[in-house]
Amino acid sequence: MLAAGPMPVRQVQTEAKHIGVPWRTVQRALKKSGAESVREGFAPNARYVWRLKRRLGAAGAPSVPVPGDGAHEAHGDGAESSFPD
C-alpha cells in the first residue's frame, strides 16, 4: 500500500475499513513493516502520513523496499496482500 509513496493516515483508515481490516491490525502492520508515521505541515493544515522508512543502499544513497523483496507474503491463495499478518 505504501510502495507508491506516503499515504495520509485518514486514507489508510478509510481503505482498511472498506476492506474490513480492524484499525488495530493496521497499526500493528505499520510497526511490523518498519514504516513510520510522520507529521507534515503545521496547524491548522497539519496531517499525518505513513511512509516506508528510507534505507541506505550500498553506496549510501537512500533506497526504499521493492515489492517482491519479501515484504509482502502470499496468503495461501496465491494473492498478495498489502497488509502483513
Task: Dump pLDDT digits (tens) for 45-63.
Answer: 899 999 988 765 555 555 5
Give the DSSP H or E segment for 24: helix 23-33
**What is the percent of the chain where pLDDT is above 70?**
64
Section 24-36 average pLDDT: 91
Domain-embedded: residue 74 = no
Q: How far is CA 1 from the centre of its chain?
A: 6
Domain-embedded: residue 67 = no
Separation CA 22–CA 24 (nearest Å): 6
pLDDT at 63: 55
Section 2-27 average pLDDT: 92
What pLDDT digit, counting tens, does each position of 62-83 carry? 555 555 555 444 444 444 555 5
Q: Decide which of 62 and 39 is more confident.
A: 39
Beta bridge mates, 48: 39
Give the range of the structural domain holding residue 17, as residue numbers without chain letter.
7-53
pLDDT at 33: 87
**Residue whose C-alpha is closest to residue 22's, from 33, 13, 30:** 13
Number of structural domains in the chain: 1
